[in-house]
Amino acid sequence: MAAKRRRKRKTGLKYNKVVVALLLVAVAAFTVAMIWIYREKGGVPDSLVAAFYAFAGGEAGCLGLIKHSDNKYNGSGGNTNDSPPGPDGGAG
């Protein structure tokens, strides 16, 4: 009987890192566009600004929640020993 082989995880670019990078670019571009509109017209659509930043913050929060739950339930990352972190952030 053939033994089942585990698939190796890709070590390349991860999906959430790409999403975070695109989110940062989108926020920067939106901010620059709103500054330009403010300078040209003297005002910006407040509801659009609030909705965009709410979406961007929600997306980043969801990605952070996914990362946190992956670390918590899969045991990857974090401080694995019982000693508190040292002053430089490392363990003991």
- The tens digit of pLDDT for each residue in 19-62 reads 889 999 999 999 999 999 999 999 999 999 999 999 999 999 98
Amino acid identity at 62? C
Q: φ and ψ at 91, to 5 degrees?
A: -75, 135
**Structural domain contains residue 27:** yes
Answer yes or no: is pLDDT of 6 > 80: no
Q: What is the mean pLDDT of the chain?
A: 81
**Structural domain contains residue 60:** yes
Share of the chain above pLDDT 90, in %: 42
**Structural domain contains residue 9:** no
Residue 64 confidence (pLDDT): 86
**Structural domain contains residue 70:** yes
User: Domain range spanning residue 68?
Assistant: 15-74
**Structural domain contains residue 86:** no
Q: With bands split at pLDDT 50, 70 and 90, how would you rate the model's confidence at 90?
A: low
**Structural domain contains residue 83:** no
Q: Is 83 left (phi over 0), alpha (psi -120 to 50) or beta?
A: beta
Domain total of the chain:
1
